[in-house]
Amino acid sequence: MSDPVVSPEVDLSKPAAEGMVRVTFLPEGRTVEFAFDTLPYKGHGQPMSFLDVAENYGIFLDHACGGVCACTTCHLHVKQGAEGISEPEELELDRMDTAAGIELNSRLGCQAVIEKPGTYVVEIPKWNRNYVQEGKPAHGPGS
């Protein structure tokens, strides 16, 4: 894997500062950081969901239904920070029943909302990565 790409202001040698949210998206290894509750809502998924964060930073996270909990293409695994994320609602749990490769840390990226400052690491599962490699437009930084 290539070196991680971070927002210019992210210093990975130090923990996230107080009041900040740091999110790393694997396997791409991109890390972004911003003050909690300051992210402009991009209209995809719940405000402050992982999909919302990804959209703000031009990170590709598939969302075939537009972030309304009607597909499972935004499925991701929460590797760190689960305690700071909203509990899944009934609709998300029902939707997840139809997803492939469910694990204990599986969530829908459009529904899992970051509720407090801290450090979060999420991984986009292999089949979504393959999907990206097979020609879906992977947005670059700032695009």
Residues of this chain that bind ligand FES (CB under 6 A): 63-65, 67, 69-74, 95, 108-110
What size, in residues, is the chain?
143
Task: Give the single-character DSSP code of 81.
Answer: -
Amino acid (one-letter) located at 44: H
Which residue's entry shows tokens 């703000």? 56
The dihedrals phi and psi of 30, each to the nearest 5 degrees, come to -90, 135
Minimum distance between the CB of residue 51 and ligand FES, rounded to whole angstroms?
A: 6
Minimum distance between the CB of residue 106 and ligand FES, rounded to whole angstroms?
A: 12
If the CB atoms of residues 16 and 128 are measured against ligand FES, the closer one turns out to be 128
Q: Per 3-state DSSP, what percentage of the chain is helix, strand, and coil (rounded to 5)?
A: 20, 25, 60
If the CB atoms of residues 22 and 95 are measured against ligand FES, the closer one turns out to be 95
Task: Give the single-character DSSP code of 93.
Answer: H
If the CB atoms of residues 10 and 23 are measured against ligand FES, the closer one turns out to be 23
Minimum distance between the CB of residue 93 and ligand FES, rounded to whole angstroms?
A: 12
Task: Give the single-character DSSP code of 62.
Answer: -
If the CB atoms of residues 109 and 118 are measured against ligand FES, the closer one turns out to be 109
Minimum distance between the CB of residue 25 and ligand FES, rounded to whole angstroms?
A: 15
